[in-house]
Amino acid sequence: MNPTVSPNEPLAQQNNEFLAGSSVTQPNRPIQRAIGSVEGTLENTKGEDGDSAQLTQLQHHEVGNNYIYAVGVLKPEFPNQGLQQAFYNAAQTLGVSEYDYYTVLSYTDDTKHRPYFYIAEQIRWVLTIHDRDTYILQPRAKAELVSFIEALKPPENSLLSVLSTAVGIIAEDQALDHGVNAGLTKVVCNHLFSQTLDSLHQLLKDKTGVATAVIQDVLKGLEYQPNDGRSDFSRAKNFLAYRYPELYITTDFLHKETVSNDTGYFLDEVHTSYTDLASPHVIVDLVFTYKNKRKDTGLKPEVYFHCSVDVTHQFPFVNAPLQEFMPLTLMDS
C-alpha cells in the first residue's frame, strides 16, 4: 500500500502512483471487532493480552521515534547574502524573475549541464505547515534534491500551493546555523512527493468519480488540526490522506448510499489509538465514524469503518485494510 515513487518522476506520474492497485469497490460486509470502545481509547480496553500490547505501545510512545511523515509547502531560503546574490545573478542571466526559483535551479544548458545546481545544494529548504515554518529538510542524496526543485514548479491552471509530503528522520546533527529559521528541527529527507489539492481532486475524480466535497471532508477529518507529522497518529493520518485512495472511495460510496441518491452518510469523526492486539510492531488503529444526516431514509444513524497502519519504521503501510465493522461496547461488570 506504500507505492515506491522515484523523486525524479513528473508530478502527474507520481499522482498516478497514488491509485496504483486500487479499484472502485463497495465496502465489505461489516465484521465485529473490539477496539476498546467506539472511541478506541486505551483506557477502555481490558484483558491481559490487551494490557500487555498497550504497555508495549505506550513504552514506544514514551521513548518516541525520530521519524516524520509531514505535509506542507516547501520553500527555499538563502543562508547568506553571497548565495542570494549568486541566485539573483543567475536569474538575470536567464532573464527571469528573482522569485522564479524553479526555472533557475532546474536550468539545463545545451551540454546537459546544470550550472546553477550548486545553489540548490546550499539552499536552506524549509517545510512550512499551516503557514508555520516547521522543519529544515536536508536531501539525502541528489535524487531527493531534484525532487525538492520539482516541488517549486508552479502548477498549471491553479493558484493553490504545491503540497509536499516529506518522509524522513530527525537529523542527529542539530547544530544551529545562521539566519531566521536556523533553530528549526533538521530532518534528513529520504523521500518527497508533491501535488496540489486540485491535482489530487482531479485525479480521484477521473479515476473513481469521487466528488470534490467528499475529498475535502476526508482531508478535514484527517487533518482538522495543524499536524506536524511527528507523532505516530499524525504519521498514520498523513499516510492515509495521500497514499490510500480506498478511504476516499468508501467515503464517496457512503455519501451516495440512498435510493434517491441524496446525501447518505458523511464522515463525522476519526479516532486514533494504539492497537490492543499483541504485536511487536507499532500499530495505529483508526476508526472512521459516518453519520446519516437524514432520519427518514431507513438507514442506520451511524456506521463505523476501521483500518490500521503500521508505523514501526520510517515508511508507514496499511496493516489491516479499511472495512466496516460492528464496535463491541465493553460493559463494566
Residue 219 DSSP SS3: helix
CA–CA dist 277, 301 (Å, integer): 29
CA distance 168 to 71: 12
Of 166, 178, 305, 296, nearest in space to 247 by CA: 305
Q: Is residue 85 part of a domain?
A: no
Answer whether 158's CB lies under 8 Å from 121's CB: no
How high is the pLDDT of residue 172? Answer: 86
Q: Which residues of 131-144 are buried (b: 16+ CB within 10 A; e: fewer)?
A: eebbbbbbbbeeeb
Q: Is residue 4 part of a domain?
A: no
Among 37, 58, 36, smallest CA distance to 47 is for: 36
- Rounded to whole angstroms, the Cα distance separating 6 from 284 reads 27
Which residues fall within 8 angstroms of residue 60, CB to CB, at 6 or more apart? 232, 282
- What is the reported pLDDT for 18? 59
C-alpha cell at position 131:
503557514
Question: CA-CA distance, 32 to 327, in Å (whole number)?
Answer: 6
Residue 69: predicted pLDDT:
98
Q: What is d(CA 154, CA 151) in angstroms, rounded to the nearest whole number? A: 8
C-alpha cell at 145: 534534491
Q: Is the dihedral of CA 224, 227, 231, 236 positive or negative?
A: positive
| CB neighbours of residue 227 within 10 Å | 21
> Helix, strand, or coil here: 263?
coil
In 47-123, where do the E strands start and end?
Answer: 67-77
Say what the pLDDT of residue 77 is: 96
Give the pLDDT confidence score for residue 258 in this predicted structure: 54
The three grid cell numbers given for residue 45, joined into one nine-digit string: 480496553
Q: Please check whether residue 105 lies inside any domain of the structure.
A: no
pLDDT given at position 149:
98
pTM, two decimal places: 0.80
- Number of domains making up the chain: 1
What does the pLDDT read at residue 270?
A: 95
**Beta-bridge partner residues of 292:** 265
Return the amino acid letter for 10: P
Q: Establish if 304 belongs to a structural domain.
A: yes
The whole-number mean pLDDT for each consecutive block of 10 residues of the chain, a chain of 333 residues, reads: 39 48 47 42 37 51 76 96 98 97 97 97 96 96 98 87 96 75 90 91 81 87 84 96 92 74 81 92 96 77 95 97 82 37
What size, in residues, is the chain? 333
- The predicted pLDDT at position 207 comes to 74
Q: How far apart are CA 308 and CA 283, in angstroms?
A: 6
Q: Does residue 6 lie within any of the structural domains?
A: no
> Domain containing 141: what range?
11-79+123-327
φ, ψ of residue 291 in degrees (nearest 5): -115, 150
Q: Is 266 exposed, middle or buried (0-12, 13-18, 19+ CB in 10 A)?
A: middle
What pLDDT, on a 0 to 100 scale, did the predictor assign at position 197? 84
**What is the DSSP track for 89-136?**
HHHHHHT--TT-HHHHHH---TTS--TTHHHHHHSEEEEEETTEEEEE
282, 64 in Cβ contact below 8 A? no
**275 is a domain residue:** yes
Report if residue 217 sits inside a domain. yes
pLDDT value, residue 294 = 74
Say if residues 164 and 75 touch (Cβ distance below 8 Å).
no
Task: Provide the terminal-to-terminal Cα distance of the chain, rounded to the nearest Å.
Answer: 41
323 within some domain: yes
Quote the cell numbers at residue 247: 478511504
Q: How far is CA 56 from CA 38, 44, 51, 301, 323, in A?
A: 22, 16, 9, 36, 26
